[in-house]
Amino acid sequence: MSWKLTLQDHYLQTEANPTETAVQNFVSSDLVNRVAKVAGLVNPGVQIAIDHAPMVAGAGDAHINYWSCPEVARLVADNLLASSPKPSGTSSLLQTAIAQLQQVPGMTQNFLPTGQFLEETLSELKFRDRSGSLQLTKNPAGVHHVCIFNAQNVAQFRGYVGWLHTSGLKQAVEFVRSSCC
């Protein structure tokens, strides 16, 4: 028997401590958004720093609390078992995105997690109804992979296309961006 363990990074969207919650509320305020927009014209790094401030505020506690977090346990179990959840009960935006990707010529569906630490992330899109997200990556061989996660960060669709069908995948992702995000 052989074992294969895949490592993946996941950002859990829960607050780690009251400081992270306070920073999230502050950076989400209308005033901060207006100031960031103006400051971003001068230095685009300002908006990036503001977007990451809540995560930085909770990083210390977050990593310590992973060991007792049921969401982390579920993600590890799903990874080890290579579970393939069905998209039943999903939102219409999630279903629209999955249907669009299934129509891409050359799409190979695959529920085995990929070695994301080797992949370059090209797009990360969040659905406007907060039902999930889409991640588009490219591995070192230039093969494009796409994954749709539900709001609980469980993969509902995983697939990849070969080099010949990359433009079709990019068109489908652009459609998802414009209609679902």
pLDDT attached to residue 88: 47
- Per the CB < 8 A criterion, the answer to whether 112 and 158 are in contact is yes
pLDDT attached to residue 120: 84
> How many CA atoms within 13 Å lie on the side-chain side of 169?
25
Instruction: Give the pLDDT means over successive 10-residue stretches in the chain (181 positions).
Output: 53 61 78 78 74 69 62 65 50 88 90 63 90 90 90 88 92 93 88
pLDDT attached to residue 147: 92
Phi then psi dihedrals of residue 24, to 5 deg: -60, -45
